[in-house]
Amino acid sequence: MAPQVGVIMGSDSDWPTMQAAAEALAEFGVEYEVAVVSAHRTVQKMVDYARSAAGRGLRVIITGAGGAAHLPGMVASMTPLPVIGVPVPLKYLDGMDSLLSIVQMPAGVPVATVAIGNARNAGLLAVRILGAGDEALRDRMAAFQADLAAMVEEKDAALQK
């Protein structure tokens, strides 16, 4: 099956963070592709990727970047697809720089920004977006949520002992 989600990042150094998005997608059986696409170092690659994404069959793009994290916003400006941004924390500023670079988009060009370093939530959000038009996937998400609730209840029960 053609990938439905693109997981892209500004540098291969973002992968240890971004891997969790890919893992979440794999858990739900969602096909994805992974690529390093830099907003500053491989500009034409970024333009080509964003402009061709919908036509190639992608439905959601997850973008991770750190520091001057322009990749999510630039990709969102060049595709009609939903774009999820993952602020990758770097050595300095604890990822606040990445977060603010990604989240402060101008009106008209949204990027759905998850918490600093929380690529897993980006993967889960992509599953929910796809699930809006796919009942089987939506059911799997509902089961996942029921499991989460059960896990919390188990921990609560353990505390009561």
Instruction: Provide the binding-site residues for ligand RP5, judged by CB under 6 A.
Output: 9-11, 13-14, 38, 65-67, 88, 90
Q: How far is the CB of 49 from ligand RP5 (least distance, A)?
A: 14
Nearer to ligand RP5, 4 or 63 (CB): 63
In Å, how far are 25, 61, 85, 92 from 37, measured between CA atoms?
20, 12, 14, 22
Lookup result for tokens 């892209």 = 8
Instruction: List Cβ neighbours of 126 (8 Å cut-off, separation of 6 or more).
Output: 5, 21, 24, 25, 30, 60, 62, 84
Nearer to ligand RP5, 72 or 123 (CB): 72
156 is in an annotated binding site: no
56 is in an annotated binding site: no
Nearer to ligand RP5, 67 or 123 (CB): 67
Q: Annotated binding site for substrate, which residues?
A: 11, 14, 41
